[in-house]
Amino acid sequence: MPQFLNITDPDFDQKFDALMSMKREADSDVDDIVAGILANVQTHGDAAVLELTSKFDRHDLTPETLAFSTAEIDAAIATVPDDERIALELAAKRIRDYHTRQLPEDAWWTGEHGEGLGWRWTPVEAAGLYVPGGIASYPSSVLMNAIPASVAGVENLYICSPTPDGEFNPLVLLAARLSGVETIYRIGGAQAVAAMAFGTQTIPKVDTITGPGNAFVAAAKRRVYGRVGIDMIAGPSEILVIADKDNNPDWIAVDLLSQAEHDESAQSILITDNADFGNAVVAAVEKRLETLERRDIALPSWRDYGAVVVTRDLEEAAKLSDKLAPEHLELCVADAEEYSKKIRHAGAIFIGAFTPEAIGDYIGGPNHVLPTARSARFASGLSVLDFMKRTTLSKMTPAALNAIGPAAETLARSESLQAHGLSVRARLDQLNDTGDTE
């Protein structure tokens, strides 16, 4: 059974704080293992990647077979059933349309003294996209990572997706093709992150690495950050549903299970202002678990990390939600769109009872790579901006330098940075000598 908390209980604050701080990440020894893997790949390149792929994925490769050939991709795509291909094409179109709207605009304007100021956005040159692999891999993850990069204008895109025992999902290759990515390496784990971050004899070094993975992938991304950019350090998945009593308990139950079936460490929480409804949802979850295919994963997730929180009203529910800052937030309440304005911290908000979180995982349009572990307090989901950088622009005219240069010189002197001040003063002196201050 999940935890059952009531905001009227005298020890509620203590229990809710414990709920927020539950440790669901991997053990610390993962980082030590990853450090060794990164050092190995950085030193030995392809040889280390091939050795580790054989060890962890039981798949023997050569430098020539690290990537899928075009013929292999074509053959795999040909096996995809029509209904799955059509669904994936629709998802790709919707995701591309949504992310195209995120493209930022360059700016240039003239300041009060005639100076030019602005900024310019440019894409990174190369991006590495990590996609969990094997038969249980997720083509949706390919679309969510590759399409924003493509929209941003990244010229060189590479996917790393492990193929344990040589198995792979043809839909992943189709998703890559639909996203404009032709180079797909069949490697995974920390060794794939290392290969993209450092480069090997076969795998090019990239500028940024994005995409979800297991604890080893997350630890590797954390360690290579600074050498390359990363999107975020993603932890186990989570969902918070705020629902009133005027909902179908079974709908809410399967919404909670939609995240619980991801991972035994995933967390599903319901906040409601009606205790009877909360009990009805728990009963519906238990009934669904009897027939759920991934019961062995969803059950321990719901049992160990699930919770039902009862509040006096929905105002309190919104405040608790902001404390949790959930990755996914469903609002199944009256006038959900207006209610959503009360929420400050959430990775993604799904508004209304007819908007299950699963729509966002596949076909809604917004990105499903989202901040976890309360990091939605300061972070956002993956977007086109993760593959772009902003360069500021400034151009001083003689008149502008004459107007603002003395203040710069004064500030440089106050910081005891003489050369800074001299670089401005040398120009001001020439302007004064020539009288060219307009």
Neighbour tally for 49: CB within 10 Å: 28
- Residue 340 lies inside a defined structural domain of this protein: yes
The answer to whether residue 27 scores a pLDDT higher than 90 is: no
Residue 155 and residue 37 in one domain: yes
- 229-230 β-sheet, strand order: 183-185, 156-160, 126-130, 208-210, 229-230
The string of pLDDT tens digits covering residues 259-281 is: 999 999 999 999 999 999 999 99
Q: Which pLDDT score, from 0 to 100, does residue 437 have? A: 62
The dihedrals phi and psi of 114, each to the nearest 5 degrees, come to 90, 0
The answer to whether residue 1 scores a pLDDT higher than 90 is: no
Residue 290 and residue 204 in one domain: no
What is the average pLDDT value for the chain, to the nearest integer?
95
Residue 401 and residue 341 in one domain: no
- Residue 388 lies inside a defined structural domain of this protein: no
Domain end among 343, 364, 385:
364
Reading the block at residue 52, the tokens are 């580790």
Q: Which amino acid is at 403?
A: A
Question: Residue 330: CB partners within 8 Å, gap ≥ 6?
Answer: 239, 240, 241, 242, 243, 255, 349, 350, 355, 356, 357
**Residue 178 C-beta-side C-alpha neighbours within 13 Å:** 26
Neighbour tally for 80: CB within 10 Å: 18
Q: Which pLDDT score, from 0 to 100, does residue 112 have? A: 96
Report residue 235's pLDDT band, with 50, 70 and 90 as the boundaries: confident
The answer to whether residue 134 scores a pLDDT higher than 70 is: no
Residue 202 and residue 248 in one domain: no
Q: Which pLDDT score, from 0 to 100, does residue 274 have? A: 98
Q: Which pLDDT score, from 0 to 100, does residue 21 have? A: 87
Sign of the CA dihedral with 215 first, then 216, 221, and 224 last: positive
Q: Which pLDDT score, from 0 to 100, does residue 161 have? A: 96
Report residue 138's pLDDT band, with 50, 70 and 90 as the boundaries: confident
Q: Which pLDDT score, from 0 to 100, does residue 29 have? A: 84
The answer to whether residue 28 scores a pLDDT higher than 80 is: no
Q: Which pLDDT score, from 0 to 100, does residue 163 have? A: 95
Domain count, the chain: 3
CB 309 within 8 A of CB 218: no
Report residue 26's pLDDT band, with 50, 70 and 90 as the boundaries: low
Q: Which pLDDT score, from 0 to 100, does residue 34 have? A: 97
Residue 13 and residue 80 in one domain: no
* Spatial distance between the Cα atoms of 351 and 332, rounded to a whole number of angstroms: 7
Residue 251 and residue 344 in one domain: yes
The string of pLDDT tens digits covering residues 386-405 is: 999 999 999 999 999 999 99
- Residue 246 lies inside a defined structural domain of this protein: yes
Residue 66 and residue 190 in one domain: yes
3-state secondary structure the chain: CCEEEECCCCCHHHHHHHHHCCCCCCCCHHHHHHHHHHHHHHHHCHHHHHHHHHHHHCCCCCHHHCECCHHHHHHHHHCCCHHHHHHHHHHHHHHHHHHHCCCCCCEEEECCCCCEEEEEEEECCEEEEECCCCCCCCHHHHHHHHHHHHHHCCCEEEEECCCHHHCCCHHHHHHHHHHCCCEEECCCHHHHHHHHHHCCCCCCCCCEEECCCCHHHHHHHHHHECCEEECCCCCCCEEEEEECCCCCHHHHHHHHHHHHCCCCCCEEEEEECCHHHHHHHHHHHHHHHCCCCCHHHHHHHHHHHCEEEECCCHHHHHHHHHHHCCCEEEEECCCHHHHHHHCCCCCEEEECCCCCHHHHHHCCCCCCCCCCCCHHHCCCCCCHHHHEEEEEEEECCHHHHHHHHHHHHHHHHHCCCHHHHHHHHHHHHHHHHHCCCC
- Residue 333 lies inside a defined structural domain of this protein: yes
Residue 15 and residue 153 in one domain: no
- Residue 409 lies inside a defined structural domain of this protein: yes
Report residue 433's pLDDT band, with 50, 70 and 90 as the boundaries: confident
Residue 166 and residue 98 in one domain: yes
How confident is the model over 168-188, as a mean pLDDT?
Answer: 96
The share of the chain scoring above pLDDT 70, in percent, equals 98
How confident is the model over 324-349, as a mean pLDDT?
Answer: 98
Identify the CATH number of the domain in which residue 358 sits: 3.40.50.1980
* Spatial distance between the Cα atoms of 117 and 111, rounded to a whole number of angstroms: 7
Residue 316 and residue 305 in one domain: yes
Q: Which pLDDT score, from 0 to 100, does residue 314 have? A: 97
The answer to whether residue 252 scores a pLDDT higher than 80 is: yes
The string of pLDDT tens digits covering residues 97-131 is: 999 999 999 999 999 999 999 999 999 999 999 99
Residue 96 and residue 143 in one domain: yes
The string of pLDDT tens digits covering residues 48-91 is: 999 999 999 999 999 999 999 999 999 999 999 999 999 999 99
Domain end among 187, 206, 233:
233
* Spatial distance between the Cα atoms of 382 and 127, rounded to a whole number of angstroms: 13
- Residue 375 lies inside a defined structural domain of this protein: no
* Spatial distance between the Cα atoms of 407 and 394, rounded to a whole number of angstroms: 17
* Spatial distance between the Cα atoms of 209 and 229, rounded to a whole number of angstroms: 6
- Residue 132 lies inside a defined structural domain of this protein: yes
The catalytic residue positions are 327-328
- Residue 191 lies inside a defined structural domain of this protein: yes
Residue 20 and residue 36 in one domain: no
* Residue 177 belongs to domain spanning: 29-105+123-233
Domain end among 364, 379, 404:
364
Report residue 137's pLDDT band, with 50, 70 and 90 as the boundaries: confident
Neighbour tally for 172: CB within 10 Å: 25
